[in-house]
Amino acid sequence: MEPMNLLSVSEFLLLGFSSQPRMQLLLFAVFLAIYLAILFENSLIFVLIKIDSHLHMPMYFFLANLSFLDISYTTTTVPQMLLHLLSKKKNISYVGCIIQMYIFLSLGITECILYAVMMVASSWVGGFFFAMVHTGVTMRLPYCGLNEINHFFCEVPAILKLACADTRVTKVVVFVMGVILLMTPVFLILVSYVFIMVASLRISSAEGGLKAFSICTAHFTMVTLFYGAAMFMYMRPASSYSPERDKYFSFFYNVVSALLNPLIYSLRNKDVKGALVKLMGLLGSFPSFRRGEVEQGGAGTQDSWYLLVMEQF
């Protein structure tokens, strides 16, 4: 990358998804609807788990934390993207960019670790720590001249493209972090699912086995979508980085996963459904719902994934 001048960049421009006014209006409407749906679903899950004492156990704390994370980390990017779709000014200050990058990474990494270990506290600590490393290695590079980010928010691979210095070392660090933070969780989750599949084969009724299998498939699709898109962004040779295409991948772990998570993990769970019906019963006058037997959730990864699958009957 050739420096055009030696002045440091004081702000960046986020090009976003489109520059055509009509298209921008359409995207605004679609993204706004998606964002509102994300807020609604995830706060519903969060509130249900907070107010229903039957749901005060590790697996549901995991789901509540997941919903809280999904709201927070879409909120670090989507409202700004919506504003930029409506306005001609698409700039973000240098400091604003660092802050956005850091918060987004912290929450994103927390989510990556959370899926793998399901231990809430360690995920948050890990997320905020690793994000510091990531943001640090990216922002210690000089940025001068070029300041147009072909992306919808300040994300590491898109920013690195603009650095006016040798980025090889930084890219190696980003790659190694990707291996640790993406490959390890995927491996742990795969192992958990092998155990669950084996357990579901032992379910005596064919219908039960089939149901467990279909739930596993749904979870597995979500995990693939989330980690697959993130791996694609953070774990490959920099030469293959194409901003024009990559922002769509980023959109998957940013927005699509937050939209689908509650539907896949929480709202199919019979106790969460029970709590929902009960809440509606309190609000209106729906007949109260008979709850199924509630098993005590374990804190281990395999136990929790197991319960997440088996509790959906």
Ligand X SMILES: *[C@@H]1O[C@H](CO)[C@@H](O)[C@H](O)[C@H]1NC(C)=O
211 three-class SS = helix
| Closer CB to ligand X, 72 or 184, in the complex | 72
The separation between CA 276 and the C-alpha centre of its own chain, rounded to angstroms, equals 24
Q: Give the closest residue to 51 by CA, choosing from 278, 297, 268, 262.
A: 278
Residues 74, 149: Cα–Cα separation, whole Å: 19
| Under 8 Å between Cβ of 286 and 280 | yes
Residues 14, 113: Cα–Cα separation, whole Å: 29
Report in angstroms how near the CB of residue 120 gets to ligand X at its nearest: 4
Report in angstroms how near the CB of residue 112 gets to ligand X at its nearest: 16
Window 17-76: residues binding ligand X (CB under 6 A): 61, 64-65, 68
| Under 8 Å between Cβ of 69 and 253 | no
Print the binding letters for residues 223-262 with ligand X: x by CB under 6 A, - otherwise.
----------------------------------------
Report in angstroms how near the CB of residue 299 gets to ligand X at its nearest: 9
Report in angstroms how near the CB of residue 239 gets to ligand X at its nearest: 40
Sequential DSSP letters for 94-155 = HHHHHHHHHHHHHHHHHHHHHHHH--HHHHHHHHHHHHHHHHHHHHTS--BS--EESSSS--
| Closer CB to ligand X, 33 or 294, in the complex | 294
**Can residue 265 be called a binding residue for ligand X (CB under 6 A)?**
no
Which residues, at least 6 apart from 66, have a Cβ–Cβ distance to it below 8 Å?
111, 114, 261, 265, 266
Report in angstroms how near the CB of residue 189 gets to ligand X at its nearest: 19
Residues 297, 256: Cα–Cα separation, whole Å: 28
Print the binding letters for residues 115-134 with ligand X: x by CB under 6 A, - otherwise.
-----x--------------
| Closer CB to ligand X, 55 or 196, in the complex | 55
Size of the site for ligand X (CB under 6 A): 5
| Closer CB to ligand X, 71 or 229, in the complex | 71
| Closer CB to ligand X, 61 or 306, in the complex | 61
| Closer CB to ligand X, 65 or 74, in the complex | 65
Report in angstroms how near the CB of residue 64 gets to ligand X at its nearest: 4
Print the binding letters for residues 186-225 with ligand X: x by CB under 6 A, - otherwise.
----------------------------------------
81 three-class SS = helix
| Closer CB to ligand X, 120 or 230, in the complex | 120
Residues 290, 278: Cα–Cα separation, whole Å: 9
Residues that bind ligand X (CB under 6 A): 61, 64-65, 68, 120
